[in-house]
Amino acid sequence: MQDKLNEIEKAALTALAEVNDPAMVEAWRVTHLGRSSELMGVFSGLGKLSKEERPVIGQAANRVKVALEAALEEKAAAVKQAALAKSLAEEKLDVTLPGRNKHVGRLHPSTQQLRRVLSILAEMGFQVFTSREVETDEYNFQHLNFPPHHPARDMQDTFFIEAEGRGDNPILMRTHTSPGQIHAMRYFAATDPSNPPPIRIALPGMCFRYEQITARSEVQFNQVEGLAVGKNITFADLKGTIADFVRRMFGEGARLRFRASYFPFTEPSAEVDVECFVCGGKGCQVCKNSGWLEILGCGMVHPNVLIAGGYDPKVYSGYAWGMGPERQLMLRNKVGDIRYFWGNDVRFLEQF
């Protein structure tokens, strides 16, 4: 058995001398130190030996195993070093080449525009107030003067989340930021129910509508709601605020117009258009060949909405609007399709 161990060690070391790459190192390890190797067979057969032979052969086999493992480790290190030396000799590295710039993440253009809008409104004295994206029908429609089954609900196709068993108050993704009006008025009215304080707030957030995607409309979009409630507020205050905002956003020479419209939660109501900067007022697919692009809807807060918010319409009045930052961003940068903002094309986004 001693002679056999000597032969195993000699044969293994002779084979190891021929090894010259990592694959051969691994193959040698499996052949000479693996479970099925001849050396491991000696360890498996120790139980068949006599009590006198067993410790002697066991020690001898262990000595061979340790010797082979040491030789393997030395050979593996030598092969690795040889591979590195070959790589350095054959491959060229030009240390004079400039380094590669790291790509730093930036704010999405819609977020940039949203912050620009809020910054202007903050300068005009509006406080930012946020509300939730998942709403109930009660807040999204009913408190805003949309009774259940009212035909005006067809103006906003809705994503419903949970309707079964909730009657006329299903859970849905908000279709506009206007539910924030009710949350805000109730929040401020709760501080002094008998004499609620005046409000001047901006409510930003994402809205969701089940609509046809076109160059002018998306199923998700940012909106900024404006709300001012107090005593003796008139439509003239609304027009002055909107006109000032448009001049601050688009420049002193920006042309705008008010058009009579209808919204259940305001009366009277209007839509505000800005001259289309994409085509210069000549007409294009963005402005539907009208030369004008709608940027917001607005009006005086309906008495029913004031009541739902905890304000007495006989004492208080107010105005509100809802504007789309992406539409304004299209005007500022002459972008012809609103779908670019959510297409995640880095070539487009990096321009901002």
Q: CATH number of the domain that 261 lies in?
A: 3.30.930.10
- The mean per-residue pLDDT over the stretch 94-102 comes to 83
What mean pLDDT is predicted for residues 147-161?
82
Is the omega angle on the peptide bond into residue 268 within 30 degrees of 0, that is, cis? Answer: yes
Do 41 and 84 share a domain, yes or no? yes
Both 77 and 145 in one domain: the answer is no
Same domain, 120 and 48: no
* 324 within 8 A of 223, measured Cβ to Cβ: yes
Higher pLDDT residue, 212 or 319?
A: 319
**Mean pLDDT value of segment 104-116:** 90
- Ramachandran region, residue 80 (left: φ > 0; alpha: ψ -120 to 50; beta: rest): alpha
Q: Where are the beta strands (DSSP E) in 198-255?
A: 199-208, 220-230
Residue 127: pLDDT over 80:
yes
Predicted confidence (pLDDT) at residue 263 exceeds the cutoff of 80: yes
Say whether both 117 and 82 belong to one domain. no
Average pLDDT for 78-101: 83
Does 69 map to a domain?
A: yes
- The reply to whether 80 and 228 lie within a common domain is no
- In whole angstroms, give the CA distance from residue 174 to residue 300: 21
Whole-number Å distance between alpha carbons of 216 and 218: 7
> Taking residues 289-311, what's their average pLDDT?
92
- Whether residue 334 lies inside any domain: the answer is yes
Boundary of a domain, candidates 38, 58, 90? 90
Establish if 236 belongs to a structural domain.
yes
Task: Pick the closest to residue 12 from 37, 41, 46 (CA basis).
Answer: 37
Mean model confidence pLDDT for the chain: 87
Query: Starting at the edge strand that comes first in sequence, how are the strands of the sheet with 160-162 ordered?
Result: 134-136, 171-173, 160-162
Q: Answer yes or no: do 322 and 254 share one domain.
A: yes
Domain boundary, last residue among 90, 117, 144? 90
C-alpha neighbours within 13 Å on the C-beta side of residue 323 = 25
Q: Based on the domain organization, do 53 and 195 belong to the same domain?
A: no
If asked whether residues 152 and 286 sit together in one domain, one would say yes
Q: What is the pLDDT of residues 170-228, one digit of tens each?
A: 899 999 999 999 999 999 999 999 999 999 999 999 999 887 777 767 788 899 999 99
Residue 152 forms part of a structural domain: yes
Domain span at residue 46 reads 2-90
> Is it the case that residue 138 has pLDDT exceeding 90?
yes
Q: 163 and 309 share a domain?
A: yes
Residue 325 lies in a domain: yes
Angle at 320 between CA 276 and CA 332, to 5 degrees: 25
pLDDT for 305 equals 96
Same domain for 78 and 152, yes or no, is no
**For residue 96, is it within any domain?**
no
Domain membership flag for residue 101: no
The total number of structural domains that make up the chain: 2
Q: Is residue 47 part of a domain?
A: yes
Instruction: Report residue 279 as tokens.
Output: 């085509």
**Binning pLDDT at 50, 70 and 90, where does residue 49 land?**
confident
What's the rounded mean pLDDT across residues 20-40?
85
- Do 131 and 33 reside in the same domain of the chain? no
Least confidently predicted of 111-115, 153-157, 201-205: 153-157
Q: Poorest-confidence range of 40-44, 134-138, 295-299, 300-304? A: 40-44
Inform me whether the pLDDT recorded for 43 exceeds 80.
no
For residues 117 and 83, state if they share a domain: no
> pTM for the complete prediction?
0.67
pLDDT computed for residue 286 by the predictor: 65
Asked if 224 and 213 touch (Cβ cutoff 8 Å), the reply is no
